[in-house]
């Protein structure tokens, strides 16, 4: 059996064995459940070689675990820094295709409606023209009816004939004859008085 080797209190301990190793923050792989080995620094209890060997082995294992965790953390950070390719689900892609097809149909329908509206506008203009023509023809028919009624009234001696003359027409020109020299007037001579005896004789002869 090995005899314990006493370590004098005056001998200085090595710096790595005398310090406490800090904990390394855990990576995304999971929280760390192990902490760094604690090396006893009490001078009242001397360390044996066996205890020192165990402490060094525990420290070595802890460093290996920490290095493994650091490697895992570095790999995770590198993977997160690379942008991942965005993959569109098949359902969303089909929905987008359907929306595009519907949009094209809507545009085609809108173009057809625009053409139909233009055609309707032209038809309405034609109807308006025909309506104006019909109104004019109707007005002329009404005028003809009114003229006929007036003619009938004239025939019945109900209206004077002057109503059918246009008042706006200029009056007929009156021709004034030029003055002529007065004709020669022959003096009229009274016949000589007939005696009453001759008048009575003439009356008897006529009887």
pLDDT in tens, 79-94: 777 666 666 677 888 8
37 or 112, greater pLDDT: 112
The stretches of 11-48 forming alpha helices (DSSP H) are 15-18
Which residues, 6 or more positions from 128, have their beta carbon under 8 angstroms from its beta carbon? none
Chain position carrying tokens 């969303």:
92
Closest of 36, 97, 102 to residue 69, by C-alpha = 36
How would residue 5 be classed by pLDDT, with cut points 50, 70 and 90?
very low
> pLDDT digit string (tens) for 117-145?
998 888 888 888 888 888 777 777 777 78
Half-sphere exposure of 193 (CA within 13 A, CB side): 3
202 pLDDT band (50/70/90 cuts)?
low
User: DSSP states of 91-149 as a string?
Assistant: HHHHHHHHHHHHHHHHHHHHHHHHHHHHHHHHHHHHHHHHHHHHHHHHHHHHHHHHHHH
70 φψ region: left (φ > 0), alpha (ψ -120 to 50), beta (else) = alpha
Contact 21, 55 (CB under 8 A): no
pLDDT tens column, 176-192: 555 555 555 565 555 55
Residue 190 has a pLDDT of: 57
DSSP secondary structure letter of residue 15: H
pTM value > 0.95: no
State both tokens at 62: 């802890």
Under the banding of pLDDT at 50, 70 and 90, the label for residue 78 is confident
Rg of the chain over all Cα atoms, to the nearest angstrom:
73
Distance CA 160, CA 151 (A): 10
User: Which tokens hold the place of 134?
Assistant: 């019909």
pLDDT in tens, 17-76: 444 444 444 444 444 445 555 555 555 566 678 888 888 888 989 999 999 999 999 888
pLDDT digits (tens, 9 = 90+) for 148-162: 887 777 776 655 555
Numbers of helices and strands, H then E, in the chain: 4, 0
pLDDT at position 25 is 47
Percentage of residues of the chain with pLDDT beyond 70? 48
- Confidence tier at 104 by pLDDT (50, 70, 90): very high
Once rounded to an integer, what is the mean pLDDT over residues 102-130?
A: 90
Kindly list the domain boundaries of the chain, sorted by start residue.
Answer: 15-81, 90-163
């Amino acid at each position: 059996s090995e005899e314990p080797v006493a370590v004098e209190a005056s001998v200085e301990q090595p710096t790595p064995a005398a310090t406490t190793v800090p904990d390394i923050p855990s990576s995304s792989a999971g929280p760390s459940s192990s902490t760094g080995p604690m090396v006893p620094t009490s001078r009242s209890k001397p360390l044996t070689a066996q205890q020192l060997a165990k402490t060094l082995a525990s420290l070595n294992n802890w460093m290996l675990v920490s290095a493994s965790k650091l490697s895992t953390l570095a790999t995770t950070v590198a993977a997160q820094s690379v942008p991942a390719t965005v993959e569109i689900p098949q359902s969303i892609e089909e929905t987008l295709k359907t929306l595009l097809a519907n949009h094209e149909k809507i545009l085609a329908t809108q173009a057809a409606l625009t053409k139909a509206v233009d055609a309707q506008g032209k038809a309405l203009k034609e109807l308006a023209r025909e309506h104006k023509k019909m109104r004019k023809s109707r007005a002329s028919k009404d005028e003809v009816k009114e003229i006929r009624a007036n003619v009938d009234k004239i025939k019945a001696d109900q209206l004077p004939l002057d109503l059918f003359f246009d008042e706006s027409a200029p009056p007929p020109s009156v021709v004034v004859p030029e003055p002529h020299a007065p004709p020669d007037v022959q003096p009229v001579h009274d016949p000589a008085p007939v005696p009453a005896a001759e008048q009575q004789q003439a009356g008897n002869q006529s009887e």
